[in-house]
Structure 1
Amino acid sequence: MSADNSIPDVLVPLRNLFNCVKSTRDRVRDGESNECSGTFCMSNFWETLDQAVKTTSQEATKLSLMFSRPPVPSEQVHQPNPGLYQLPMRLTFDLIRRFFSFQECAKLADSFQKSALALSTVYFWLPKNQGITLRRAVRDATAEVFEGLVQLLDVIISSPLQSLSQDQLTSTGGVWAACDQFKELPKDNRSAVLAVLTSNVGLVKDALEEMEQALAESQDPFGDILDDDDMDVRGNQDTYWSQSDRQLICQCQGLMKASGACLRKLSSAVRNNGRVETEENIAQLDDLADVAKDVSPNIDDLTLSLYPPVDRCAVEENVCKLAVVMKKVLGITRTSHVCLEPDVSWVEFLDGAVNHNLEKVQSLLHDSNS
C-alpha cells in the first residue's frame, strides 16, 4: 500500500485544473468588470480576446488528444512484469495511467490553466461604460467556453480508460463551437443592441404566425348549425373559439402587430442613427435593449391567455401589460439620440395605434361582461 501511495497520480493535475476552471467560470458569470482608469482601446481588446480564445481552444484540443491514445509507459514500467499482465484489463490501464507521464500531464495542465485564466482576464478588461448589452454578450460567450472546458475535464477525469469516447468527442466539439462563436459577436454596443432587437423582432413574428396558424386550423364543430346564442348547449367548449372569441383575438393581434412594427422601426433607427462615441449614447442604447426585451414575453403571455377556453380576465391584464411596455419603448425611443426628426412621426403613429387597439380590446371585454 505504501509503495502504491508513492506513485504519482496523473489525474491530480487534472482535478486541480478542473477546480480552477470551474471557479473561474463562476467568477466570469457573476464578477464585475475592472474599472477603466484610462482610454479604452476596443480594437486592442478584440485582438487580444481573439488570441486568448484561439489559445484556449488549442489547449483544450491538446489535452483531449493526450487522453485519447494509449499512454507511453515510464521507465518504471518499461520492463515486462508478468504479474502486471495477469491483472484485469481495466486495472492494468488504471495502473499504467498512474505511472505514465505525470510530468507531461502536469505541464499540459499548467499551460491549459494559464490560457483559461488569460481568457477570463481579457474578458474583465471590458468596462461597463462600453455598454452593458455588449458586455453581456461577451460574458455569455466566455462563460460558455468555460462551461465547455469544465465538461471536457469532467469527461476525461471520469473516463476509466484512455480511449476517445463519444462523450469526449462531444465535449471537445462543444469547446470548439463555443470558441468559434466569438467570430460572430457584436463588436460594439450598437451592434449588440441591434442583435437584441433583431432577435425580439423574430420572436414576435413567430408568436403572430403561431396564433394565425392556430386560428386557421381551429374549427368549431357546431359553427355551421348553431348561433352564438346557443353557445351554452354546445359540448367541448374548451376546445374551440366562439365568434366573439375570434373578434377579441383579432383586436389583440392588432396590438401585437403594432408591437412588432415598433421593434422593426426601432431596429432601423438604431442601425442608422445609433452612436457609441459617448457614454450617454451607449447608456441610451442599453435602455432601449432592456425595455425591448420585455415585449416578447408579454406577447407570449397574451397569446397563451387567448387559447381556448379564453380567460378574459387574463386577456385584459396581459393586454394592459403589453400596452404599458410598448408605451415605455416608444417613450424611451423618443427621448434617445436614435430618434431623429423624421422618426418622430412613426413613434407618434405607433403610440396612437397602441392606444386604439387597447381601447378596442377593453371595449369588447366590457361588452361581453355586460
Structure 2
Amino acid sequence: HVSDRPIVDLMGTTETPSEPSELELDDVVITNPHIEAILENEDWVEDASGLVSHCIAILKICHTLTEKLVAMTMGSGARVKSPASLGDIIVVAKRISPRVDDVVRSMYPPLDPKLLDARAAALLLSVSHLVLVTRSACRQPAARHWVERSLAAAEEHMAVLRQAAMATEPERPPAPGEPP
C-alpha cells in the first residue's frame, strides 16, 4: 500500500563531521517553509474525532520549546559546560525532526488514534530529552518555569490522545481471579 500522504521534513538535519558549533545548532531549528501553514491550518476537515487539533497543539508546543531551547543554548556561549555537552544537545535536537514528520504523517486520514498517540508520545519524549540535556549543559534556572508549563500543556493534549487510543482497544475478558 503506497501512501499518498506528503512527506514533510519540518526540521533541517544537516550532519557535518566537524566539531559541534553554533552553526550546527542553527541547522536543527525547524526550517521547513510549510511548517507555519501546517500549524495554522485549522481546516483538517476529515478529523471528526477532534484528535488532530491536539496533535497540532503538541506540534506547536514542541516547535516553540525546541526553538527556545536551541536559542537559549546558542545564547549561553561560555555557560555551556563543555563542547561535549553541546554535541549532546545537537545530537538530541536532530532526533526531533523525524518525530515531527511522523506525527504530521499520522494526522492524515484514515486517523488511527493508537498511531497518533504513539507518534505524539515519541515526539514529546524526544523534546523532553532535549530539555534534559539542555538543562544539564546550560545552567538557566529562569527557563525552568516556561519549560515546565509547556511540557504540562503538552501532557494535557497527550492525555486526550491516550484516552482515544485506549478507547479503540477491544474489551478483554477478565483474567481468572480478576473481578469482572
TM range (shorter): 0.7 to 0.9
1:333-360 per-position Cα deviation (integer Å, ceiling 9, x unaligned) = 22112x4122222222222223222112
The equivalent position to 1:209 in structure 2, one of 15, 26, 37, is 37
The answer to whether residue 61 in structure 2 is matched with residue 258 in structure 1 is yes
The equivalent position to 1:355 in structure 2, one of 136, 141, 155, is 155
2:91, 2:166 → 1: CA distance?
33
**TM-score, length-scaled by structure 1:** 0.38
Q: Which amino acid aligns with 1:361?
A: L
**8 Å contact kept, 2:93–2:130:** yes
**8 Å contact kept, 1:255–1:354:** yes
Of the two structures, which has the highest relative contact order with CA contacts closer than 8 Å and spacing of 6 or more?
2
Alignment CA distance shift 1:288-1:307 (3 Å): same
Q: Which amino acid aligns with 2:37?
A: E
1:336, 1:306 → 2: CA distance?
34
Determine what percentage of the aligned residue pairs are the same residue: 20
1:197, 1:266 → 2: CA distance?
11
1:82-140 per-position Cα deviation (integer Å, ceiling 9, x unaligned) = xxxxxxxxxxxxxxxxxxxxxxxxxxxxxxxxxxxxxxxxxxxxxxxxxxxxxx5366x
2:77, 2:70 → 1: CA distance?
10
**TM-score, length-scaled by structure 2:** 0.73
**8 Å contact kept, 2:113–2:164:** no
Partner of 1:272: 75
Partner of 2:166: 366
* Larger helix percent: 1
2:162, 2:117 → 1: CA distance?
7
Matches within 5 A, 1:175-190: 189-190=20-21
**8 Å contact kept, 1:207–1:299:** no
Q: Kindly tell me the number of residue pairs found equivalent between the two proteins.
A: 156
Partner of 2:109: 308
1:341 is paired with a residue whose SS is coil
Larger Rg: 1 or 2? 1
1:197, 1:301 → 2: CA distance?
17
Matches within 5 A, 1:268-347: 268-275=71-78, 280-337=81-138, 339-347=139-147
2:24, 2:69 → 1: CA distance?
11
1:272-293 per-position Cα deviation (integer Å, ceiling 9, x unaligned) = 11338x8x51111111111111
**8 Å contact kept, 1:194–1:271:** yes
Alignment CA distance shift 1:189-1:242 (3 Å): closer
2:126, 2:57 → 1: CA distance?
15
Shift of 1:258: 1.0
1:168-199 per-position Cα deviation (integer Å, ceiling 9, x unaligned) = xxxxxxxxxxxxxxxxxxxx74413321233x
Partner of 2:4: none
Shift of 1:313: 2.5
